């Protein structure tokens, strides 16, 4: 059949008939026949005659959709278990395959099937419940199953090689033996630099890290060791838990913790799927509820999976699990080395280690005999993966719990509206912690109207200040009492906009549709989307007019604090200053040890930190995230403000929050001031319902990125036409938004378009997505199109 190219507005290309593409493996299921996935034909074995080969359904670790049928050689027949890795012929070579179960004989065209060549391991890499989860993910997020499986496995198992036993990694550390750089090193600059580095990072660091910072440091450190200024040692790698963060087991639970615990224990005893929302205000002791539940699961011989947004930002939670369960915990973070990843995978699969604490990808961790899944800070956007398999780990955690018959606890002080709606519909049971531990009061939250409390008044500086008089007074007072302050602003850099005073042109990235941010410490302007950096222009590039530095970032706030309160010990926590996980942990630990008075930072300071010394939290500007063109902007603002406020007053002293804003009437700001989560949620839910946004609809985004603006636009339009032509009747409630240029219309020189689909259910969207997916084969390679089911950020 002749197919005209799609981008010229031709008829849609039908889904291609399954082909073998050079391999004589036959696709047992493809885009159109998902049903087969759930029931690998057991009939095949029944019907098999003596001469008929035994057929196996295999997912191939290549970017091809569906499952493939292979024959099993005699020595393998009846010996394979689902989840075992095998080597199969594919195309002109071989490929890694995953045995999924018996297959039914292919119908239609007569083909000679190829045989599985070899088994790569004695026992399956993938436990059964994980196969079910990965199959669900492949179907739901429309991603090739073999790639889904490969992506979930540790590197040691995702290649077509035999499985090897992994040993824990040994890391080399340098430890300083002196407290300052001794004078006799003044003539050895390399040695003094290496030692100074060690001292600066708290006295000890991995050799690798020092060598990365100071070239040649390995040799230098050896010299320092022979001179007695440092010691080199080997340590078995464990996720770093810094001293001072480890905590004991509280003797008494609060009544609310206790009540939640009773319900969770009963659920664990019942050993069936039961999802819960643990809605606990900040500082209510949610972690202790997780810990007790995991203890109970362990006493029943069951494993637990704890998902957190980011390990480096939650060392306290990890520390609590570590100090409670010791070696029973595998900590899975993104900075693990290949060997460590494999080591943990094997230990969990064997059941040697029963608890996994990890980031979103840990939703695929092979925890044996899974009894409990916890998703902490379940509202956090980082649970959504924004590349390859675009999954939402919180959603998959619930699916996994259902498949494994496990108890699922989603915990947050600010649950996502999607989760809240599931409670309202009776799908999830609600557990509430309405009070802080020890009946500590919630912080008082006060508004500072920047239109009234002008930071500029009476100040003569080149740059417009942003800290208002009441804020500065509160800071000085708090520091004076020996307590600590957190300053939050969700933008990094010094100035976020450079604008010509004469022609009004703002300095934009040449590759992206965004303004360049001035980073004063680097003395450069930087693009936060593509990383492009250049010297700060002295004058407008168009008209040579003088440049105004507008828009405030954390770097400028830090400078202003130092200028206005010179005695304060200030540090900044953002992606620029916390460039490595070690650095980040060290900064948080140093703040916890009260070596700092003020921590200025982006949303990184708003996470679940528990610093008892913090009694004042200042939101430098509450408006920054309100204007983002995303239907979740208000929700996100509300979450951030509530979360960061929750860092105040967690110790014995009460907390105070000051929120600076130019928009005191904005809904999220008003509701945060009133501690009114329910009010905010109800209002926002009404709005979502009126506009049929999630949770009252399901969405899928089709995202396009192309080198040529016209071609990309034309592909976007023809995909739009395709959807329009196949739109179900209006009664089905499916709607299309766009196609339109994405809010950020260009990144890295690529033009971006998007098309959004909304429907009452996933089932309602599925036929359209299948058509789109089939049509993608004909899109020119210069335009990249991905389907993003349940999209997160709308930018
Ligand atoms: P959340 O995650 O709900 O904001 P955390 O779990 O961080 O709160 O707990 C807040 C603080 O209270 C932590 O320092 C924790 O160790 C402490 N804590 C929790 N439960 C208890 C308890 N029952 N008795 C005393 N302290 C507790
Ligand atoms: Zn850029």
**3-state DSSP of 470-494:** HHHHHHHHHHHCCCEEEEECCCCCC
437 lines ligand 1 (CB under 6 A): yes
Integer Cα distance of 553 and 573 in angstroms: 12
Tell me, using a 6 A CB cutoff, whether residue 288 lines ligand 1.
Answer: yes
- pLDDT tens profile 203-226: 777 777 777 777 788 889 999 999
CA-nearest of 607, 619, 609 to 554 is 619
Residues 6+ apart with CB under 8 A from 416: 378, 379, 394, 635
Kindly report the number of other CB atoms within 10 A of residue 440's CB atom.
Answer: 18
Q: Is the CB of 29 under 6 A from ligand 1?
A: no
User: Of 157, 180, 208, which residue sits at a domain end?
Assistant: 157
Ligand 1 mean position, distance from CA 286 (Å) = 7
pLDDT-based confidence at 41, cuts 50/70/90?
very low
Mean pLDDT of the chain: 87
Which of 343, 347, 285 has the alpha carbon at shortest distance from 317? 285
Query: Is residue 495 domain-resident?
Result: yes
Ligand 1 atom showing the smallest separation from residue 320 Cα: 16
Is 618 annotated among the ligand-binding residues? no
Evaluate whether residue 649 is within a structural domain.
Answer: yes
How confident is the model at residue 682, as a pLDDT?
96
Q: Is 412 in the pocket of ligand 1 (CB under 6 A)?
A: no
* In the predicted structure, residue 646 carries a pLDDT above the cut 50: yes
- The rounded Å distance from CA 513 to ligand 2 centre is 7
Distance between CA atoms of residues 510 and 541, nearest Å:
12
Ligand 2 centroid – CA 526 distance (Å) = 8
What is the residue-wise DSSP string for 727-776?
A: PPPGGG--EEEEEEEEEEEEETTEEEEEEEEEESSHHHHHHHHHHHHHHG
- Is 468 close to ligand 1, i.e. is its CB under 6 Å away? no
Mind listing the pLDDT tens digit for each residue in 318-338? 878 888 887 788 888 877 788
Give distance in angstroms: CA of 288 to centre of ligand 1: 6
* Judgement on whether residues 731 and 632 belong to the same structural domain of the protein: no
Q: Does the pLDDT at position 8 exceed 50?
A: no
11-18 long-range contacts, CB within 8 A, separation 24+: 12/722, 12/725, 12/726, 12/771, 12/774, 12/775, 13/774, 13/775, 13/777, 13/778, 14/774, 15/770, 15/771, 15/773, 15/774, 16/774, 16/777, 18/66
**Eight-class DSSP state of 70:** E
Q: Is the CB of residue 645 below 6 angstroms from any atom belonging to ligand 1? A: no
Which one of the ligands is nearest to 531 CA?
A: 2
Q: Is 642 near ligand 1, meaning CB less than 6 Å away?
A: no
Q: Which atom of ligand 1 is nearest to the CA of 281?
A: 3
Q: What is the total count of domains within the chain?
A: 5
Residue nearest (by alpha carbon) to ligand 1 atom 12: 285
- Asked if residue 530 belongs to a known ligand binding site, the reply is yes
Residue 323 makes CB contacts below 8 A (sequence gap 6+) with 241, 246, 247, 248
How much of the chain exceeds pLDDT 90, in percent? 64
Could you tell me if residue 635 is inside a domain? yes
CA of 649 to the centre of ligand 1 (A): 12
Distance in angstroms (rounded) separating the CA atoms of residues 489 and 602: 5
Regarding the beta carbon of 252 and ligand 1, being less than 6 Å apart is answered yes
Query: From CA 272, how far away is CA 455, in angstroms rounded?
Result: 57
C-beta 440 within 6 A of ligand 1: no
pLDDT per residue over 268-325, tens digit each?
999 999 999 999 999 999 999 999 999 999 999 999 999 999 887 777 788 788 888 8
Q: Provide the pLDDT for residue 246.
A: 47
Is the beta carbon of 246 within 6 A of some atom in ligand 1? no
Q: Is residue 550 part of a domain?
A: yes
Q: Are residues 89 and 190 in the same domain?
A: no
- Per-residue pLDDT tens over the stretch 348-391: 999 999 999 999 999 999 999 999 999 999 999 999 999 999 99
Q: Please give the full DSSP string across 354-394, using - where no structure is assigned.
A: -EEEESGGGGG---TTEEEEEEETTT-GGGB--SSS--BHH
Indicate whether 462 pLDDT > 90.
Answer: no
CA of 252 to the centre of ligand 1 (A): 11
Answer for the pair 559, 487: CB distance below 8 angstroms, yes or no: no
Same domain, 510 and 608: yes
613 with 505, same domain: the answer is yes
Nearest CA to ligand 1 atom 19: 285
pLDDT over 80 at 679, yes or no: yes
Q: How far apart are CA 393 and CA 362, in angstroms?
A: 9
Task: Give the closest residue (by CA) to ligand 1 atom 14.
Answer: 610
How many percent of the chain have pLDDT more than 70? Answer: 89
Does 254 sit in the ligand 1 pocket, CB within 6 Å? Answer: yes
Whether ligand 1 lies within 6 angstroms of the CB of 425 is answered as no
Name the closest-CA residue to atom 25, ligand 1: 250
Contact 491, 640 (CB under 8 A): no
Is 515 among the annotated ligand-binding positions? no
Residue 605 has which token pair? 């300071």
Domain limits at 781?
Answer: 698-789
Residue 133 shares a structural domain with residue 205: no
What is the distance between the alpha carbons of residues 148 and 133, in angstroms, rounded to a whole number? Answer: 10
Does ligand 1 lie within 6 Å of residue 257's CB atom?
yes
pLDDT above 60 (res 202): yes
Q: Which of 669, 689, 709 is the last residue of a domain?
A: 689
Question: Which pLDDT value is given to residue 155?
Answer: 86
pLDDT digits (tens, 9 = 90+) for 179-200: 888 888 888 888 888 888 887 7
The residue among 248 and 137 whose pLDDT is bigger is 137
Q: Which has more pLDDT, 110 or 60? A: 60
Question: Which ligand lies nearest to the CA atom of residue 515 in the structure?
Answer: 2
The reply to whether 552 and 673 lie within a common domain is yes
Looking at the structure, do residues 609 and 500 belong to the same domain, yes or no? Answer: yes
* Res. 741: pLDDT tops 90: yes
- 512 labeled binding residue: yes
Pocket test for ligand 1, best of 250, 261, 437 (most atoms within 8 A of CB): 437
Please tell me whether residues 263 and 350 are part of one structural domain: yes
Q: Is 509 annotated as a binding residue?
A: yes
Atom 5 of ligand 1, nearest CA residue: 285
Q: Is 253 in the pocket of ligand 1 (CB under 6 A)?
A: yes
Same domain, 124 and 153: yes
Token pair listed for 653 = 């002293």
The pLDDT of residue 42 is 35
In a domain, 9, yes or no: no
Neighbouring CB atoms inside 10 A of 604's CB total 24
Asked if residue 618 has pLDDT above 90, the reply is yes
Residue 718: name the closest of 38, 86, 3, 92 by CA.
3
| Predicted pLDDT of residue 607 | 86
Check residues 16 and 602 and name the one with the higher pLDDT: 602
Q: Is residue 6 part of a domain?
A: no
Same domain (yes/no): 449, 516: yes
Identify which ligand lies nearest to the alpha carbon of 746.
2
Range name among 177-181, 241-245, 343-347, 436-440 with the lowest pLDDT average: 241-245
Instruction: Give the ligand with the smallest distance to the CA of 260.
Output: 1
Closest ligand to 650 CA? Answer: 1
Tell me, yes or no, whether 794 lies in a domain.
no
Residue 460 CA to residue 590 CA, distance in Å, equals: 34
Average pLDDT estimate for 159-176 = 76
How many Å lie between the centroid of ligand 2 and the Cα of residue 527? 5
pLDDT at 169: 59
Q: Helix or strand or coil: residue 77? A: coil
Instruction: Tell whether 641 and 617 lie within a shared domain.
Output: yes
Q: What is the pLDDT of residues 229-252, one digit of tens each?
A: 999 987 665 544 333 344 678 989
Quick: pLDDT tens for 65-79. 888 999 999 888 888
- Residue 224 structure tokens: 């320092």
pLDDT at residue 236, as a whole number: 60
- Which of 656, 689, 722 is a domain's end point? 689
Task: Give 548 or 43, the one with higher predicted confidence.
Answer: 548
Q: Tell me: the pLDDT tens digits for 507-547?
A: 999 999 999 999 998 899 999 999 999 999 989 988 999 98
376 in ligand 1 pocket by Cβ < 6 Å?
no
Q: Is the pLDDT of residue 455 over 80?
A: no
Structural domain includes residue 34: no
> Do 449 and 413 fall within a single domain?
no
Higher-scoring residue by pLDDT: 468, 794: 468
């Amino acid at each position: 059949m002749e197919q005209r190219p799609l981008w010229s507005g031709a008829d849609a290309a039908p889904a291609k008939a399954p082909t073998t593409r050079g391999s004589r493996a036959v696709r047992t299921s493809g885009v159109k026949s998902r049903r087969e996935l759930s029931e690998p034909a057991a009939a095949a074995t029944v019907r098999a005659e003596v001469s008929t080969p035994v057929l196996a359904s295999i997912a191939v670790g290549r970017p091809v959709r569906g499952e493939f049928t292979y024959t099993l050689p005699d020595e393998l027949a009846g010996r394979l278990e689902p989840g075992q890795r095998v080597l199969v012929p594919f195309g002109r070579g071989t490929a890694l395959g995953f045995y999924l179960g018996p297959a039914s004989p292919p119908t239609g065209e007569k083909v000679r099937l190829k045989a599985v060549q070899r088994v790569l391991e004695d026992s399956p890499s993938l436990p059964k419940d994980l196969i079910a989860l990965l199959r669900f993910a492949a179907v739901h997020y429309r991603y090739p199953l073999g790639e889904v499986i490969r992506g979930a496995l540790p590197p040691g198992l995702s290649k077509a090689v035999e499985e090897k036993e992994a040993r824990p990694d040994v890391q080399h550390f340098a430890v300083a033996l002196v407290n300052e750089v001794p004078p006799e090193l003044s003539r050895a600059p390399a040695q003094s630099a290496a030692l100074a580095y060690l001292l600066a990072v708290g006295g000890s660091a991995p050799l690798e890290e020092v060598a990365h910072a100071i070239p040649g440091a390995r040799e230098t450190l050896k010299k320092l060791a022979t001179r007695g200024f440092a010691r080199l040692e080997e340590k078995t790698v464990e996720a770093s838990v810094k001293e001072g963060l480890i905590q004991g087991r509280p003797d008494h639970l609060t009544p609310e913790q206790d009540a939640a615990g009773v319900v969770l224990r009963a659920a664990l005893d019942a050993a069936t799927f039961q999802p819960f929302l643990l809605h606990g205000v900040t500082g209510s002791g949610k972690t202790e509820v997780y810990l007790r539940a995991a203890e109970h699961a362990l006493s029943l011989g069951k494993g637990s999976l704890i998902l957190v947004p980011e390990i480096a930002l939650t060392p306290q939670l990890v520390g609590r699990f570590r100090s409670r369960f010791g070696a029973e915990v595998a900590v899975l973070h993104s900075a693990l080395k290949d060997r460590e990843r494999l080591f943990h995978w094997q230990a969990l699969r064997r059941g040697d280690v029963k608890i996994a604490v990890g980031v979103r990808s840990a939703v695929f961790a092979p925890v044996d005999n899974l009894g409990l899944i916890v998703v902490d800070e379940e509202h956090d956007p980082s649970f959504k993966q924004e590349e390859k398999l675009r999954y939402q780990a919180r959603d998959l955690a619930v699916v996994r719990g259902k498949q494994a018959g496990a108890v699922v606890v989603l915990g947050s002080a600010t649950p996502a509206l999607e989760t809240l709606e599931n409670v309202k519909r009776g799908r999830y049971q609600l557990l509430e912690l309405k009070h802080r531990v020890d009946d500590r009061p919630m912080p008082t939250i006060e508004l500072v109207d920047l239109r009234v409390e002008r930071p500029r008044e009476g100040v003569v500086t080149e740059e417009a200040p942003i800290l208002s008089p009441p804020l500065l007074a509160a800071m000085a007072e708090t520091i004076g009492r020996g307590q600590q302050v957190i300053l939050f602003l969700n933008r990094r850099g010094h100035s976020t906009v450079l604008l010509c005073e004469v022609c009004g042109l703002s300095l934009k990235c040449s590759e992206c549709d965004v303004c360049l941010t001035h980073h004063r410490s680097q003395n450069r302007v930087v693009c936060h989307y593509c990383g492009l950096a250049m010297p700060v222009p002295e004058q407008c590039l168009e008209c040579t007019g003088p440049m105004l530095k507008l828009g405030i970032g954390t770097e400028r706030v830090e400078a202003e604090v130092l200028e206005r309160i010179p005695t304060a010990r200030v540090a900044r926590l953002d992606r620029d200053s916390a460039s490595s996980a070690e650095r980040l942990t060290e900064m948080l630990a140093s703040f916890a040890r009260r070596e700092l008075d003020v921590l200025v930072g982006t949303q990184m300071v708003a996470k679940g930190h528990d610093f008892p010394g913090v009694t004042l939290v200042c939101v430098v500007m509450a408006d920054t995230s309100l204007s983002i063109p995303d239907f979740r902007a208000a929700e996100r603002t509300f979450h951030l403000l509530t979360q960061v406020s929750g860092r105040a007053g967690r110790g014995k002293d009460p907390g105070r929050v000051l929120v600076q804003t130019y928009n005191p009437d904005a809904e999220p700001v008003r509701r945060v001031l009133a501690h009114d989560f329910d009010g905010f949620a109800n209002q926002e839910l009404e709005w979502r319902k009126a506009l049929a946004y999630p949770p009252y609809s399901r969405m899928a985004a089709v995202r396009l990125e192309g080198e040529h603006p016209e071609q990309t636009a034309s592909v976007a339009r023809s995909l739009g036409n395709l959807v329009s032509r196949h739109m179900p009747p209006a009664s089905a409630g499916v709607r299309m938004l766009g196609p339109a240029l994405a809010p950020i219309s260009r990144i890295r020189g690529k033009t971006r378009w998007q098309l959004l689909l909304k429907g009452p259910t996933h089932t309602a969207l599925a036929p359209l997505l299948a058509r789109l997916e089939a049509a993608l084969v004909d899109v020119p390679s210069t335009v990249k199109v991905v389907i993003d089911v349940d999209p997160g950020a709308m930018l």
